Amino acid sequence: MSPKSALLLRLTKLVERVYQVPVAYIAVLGPDPRITTRIGSGCEHWDSLMRLPLATATAQPMIWPEPVGDLRFVASTPLRSSEGLCLGVLVIGDVQARPAFSRCELETLTGLAGLPAGQMELRVAMGETRETELLLRETECRFRTIADAAPLLLIYSGSDGASSFVN
């Protein structure tokens, strides 16, 4: 199990214990927005959760007014980046109705969703940095190849005047 998966599974187990629900589920969305990864407890209820309209599930924290499949209580909150981009959704569900679930409890669920969202955003940023570094190395390699093939002397120097490249 990857560290990312382990973190998400720990979070779903924590949410399950805090809210005393049999289902705590995190779905990570791709850009389209389709589910790219899902993890959590209550796997037997995932088919029901897959019927949730994702556009609504990721719009705002909400308590679903109607049962979803065999789940009589469902609450969801989006996983948002610091810029507001929707990365996924955190859903909890119960086979028992929960008429007393408060707005405060939903806000707490949203706060908990911020933990994996921050981790996910950090991983995306690290991936983009790594990709940028690889592109920079590739560009530099191309420049050196072209410069080495040039039939005249090329000298590249930095702002301090020291030569950093001579073909």
Whose tokens are 């120097």? That residue is 157
* Cis amide bond preceding 33, omega within 30: yes
The C-alpha atoms of residue 141 and residue 128 are separated, in whole angstroms, by: 20
Q: Are 58 and 86 in contact (CB under 8 A)?
A: yes
Average pLDDT (117-133) is: 76
What average pLDDT does range 70-96 have in this prediction? 84
72: helix, strand or coil: coil
pLDDT at residue 3, rounded to an integer? 62
Stretch (H or E) spanning 40: strand 35-40
Q: Considering the chain, what percentage of its residues have pLDDT values greater than 70?
A: 91
**Measured distance CA(145)–CA(142) in Å, rounded:** 5
Q: Which pLDDT tens digit goes with each residue over 41-80?
A: 888 888 888 777 776 777 788 888 888 888 898 888 888 8
Choose among 108, 118, 130: nearest CA to 88: 118
Please state the separation of Cα 148 from the chain's center in Å: 44
Query: Which tokens belong to 68?
Result: 């979803």
pTM of the full predicted structure? 0.66
